[in-house]
Amino acid sequence: MAGTEVSELNGPGFLFGPGPAGWWDDAKCSCPVVHREADGYRMWYYGFERGFPGMLAEEMSSIPMGRSGTARSADGVVWEKVAGPGVRGSVLDPSGDPGRFDQFQVGVTEVIRVGDEYRLYFMGTQDGIRQLRGRIRKGSPCAIGLAVSNDGLHFRKVDGPAWGGAVVAPNAPEEWAVHFPRVTQLPDGTFRMYFGVGREDGSGGTQVAESADGIHWERRGQVFGANPDHTAFDSLGAGGGRVIPWQGGWLMAYEGITAAGSGTNFRIGLATSPDGLRWERLPGPGTGGAILDLGMPGSWDEIAIGTPYLVAEPDGSLKLYYVGFSSRIVPGIGLALCDGHDLRRWQKIER
């Protein structure tokens, strides 16, 4: 059931969208996680199929996750979706168990290699409903889980020490979600996780947790949040950051939120840090200081872009994978490039 995606979506940056029909992602696809390997590139991402259990039509605008799957590429640009062992070719599915944190949805947000093992960190939700920014959203509460694999295709979930088998769970009652985990292994072999926190008052920002084994985590507190400049693209919040080593320090690509009429817009920014804990924003040429801006009217990424994932290449250049949304609220996955010399200059690919 493998094949190259064909989509009506198009424009600079676009790689692929939902589908094809009958696949686990034929309604939505989002949140690319990309590795450069000896034989090319591998991507894991989340989405769901048309008729995904429990997802009503009016709730299709919630976080577009349900299952997770994979794709391969020789050059990081042309991708072929690969069928996994799960439902409709997925690699990770919800448990369906009301006693587990991942009863209703799962969504991959990070994959790291530890020796010969792939470690996939993911968000999982139960089949609850929340009112968020005036809209009903399915999937609550949300916690963070771990699955492992020897081949990147067949994953086994790890029973974590937190609520419902998670490795990190919300601190009730003030938190309703911990989400978008991004994990890196430090030079001393320990692990650091950057993740978002959902609270009723909208606070929380990006927090950090650290671990000796990648399973048992200790929170260290918030390290990044909304920009106090009300004119900035990230004035309402900043999260989903992907952190990589960069020139003796650390580089983070993140999504920022700002008000847009009666709703919100998402754009992508960069920040640098000497230690991965103290961060300084890098103003870009886009709206409100964004590094990467929305597409032109009518394009596949005209109303929102987010969930950025950085890949450093051997020649010092950078690839930035991201998700974009059109006015039809249809998500696609895209790519922008930087030569590595000027981090303020990014170019969406042309195909």
List, as one string, the DSSP characters of 167-210.
SB---TTTEEEEEEEEEEE-TTS-EEEEEEEEETTS---EEEEE
129 and 240 part of one domain: no
Residue 46 lies in a domain: yes
For residue 223, the cross-strand partners are none
What separation in angstroms does the CA of 23 have from each of 10, 104, 106, 148, 170?
Answer: 20, 18, 16, 23, 32
153 and 295 part of one domain: no
Distance of alpha carbon 210 from alpha carbon 161, whole angstroms: 15
Sign of the dihedral defined by the CA atoms of residues 295, 296, 300, 302, in that order:
positive
157 and 290 part of one domain: no
Q: For 123-133, how does the pLDDT look when each residue is reduced to its tens digit (9 = 90+)?
A: 999 988 776 65
pLDDT score for 189: 95
Q: For 72-121, how does the pLDDT look when each residue is reduced to its tens digit (9 = 90+)?
A: 999 999 999 999 999 999 999 999 999 999 999 999 999 999 999 999 99
Domain with 248, as residue range(s), is: 225-338
Q: For 31-82, how does the pLDDT look when each residue is reduced to its tens digit (9 = 90+)?
A: 999 999 999 999 999 999 999 987 755 444 467 899 999 999 999 999 999 9
Residue 350 lies in a domain: no
Q: Which residue is listed with tokens 């686990």?
A: 24
Provide CB contacts within 8 A for 219, sequence distance 6+.
168, 207, 208, 209
For the chain, the C-alpha Rg in angstroms (whole number) is: 18
Q: How confident is the model at residue 221 (pLDDT cuts 50, 70, 90)?
A: very high
Kind plus residue range of the DSSP H or E element containing 267: strand 263-273
pLDDT score for 61: 45
DSSP assignment of 10-70, as one string? Answer: -STTEEE-S-STTSTTSSEEEEEEEEEETTEEEEEEEEE-TT-TT--GGGTTS---SEEEE
- One-letter amino acid at 101 equals F
Q: How confident is the model at residue 3 (pLDDT cuts 50, 70, 90)?
A: very low
Residue 75 lies in a domain: yes
CB of 318 within 8 A of CB of 341? no
Nearest to 348 by CA among 336, 332, 331: 336
174 and 237 part of one domain: no
Q: Which residue is listed with tokens 């989002």?
A: 30
For residue 218, the cross-strand partners are 210
| Out of 143-147, 152-156, 234-238, 277-281, least confident range | 234-238
Q: What is the domain-level CATH number for residue 62? A: 2.115.10.20
Q: For 227-250, how does the pLDDT look when each residue is reduced to its tens digit (9 = 90+)?
A: 999 999 999 999 999 999 999 999
233 and 152 part of one domain: no
169 and 268 part of one domain: no
What's the structural domain count of the chain?
2
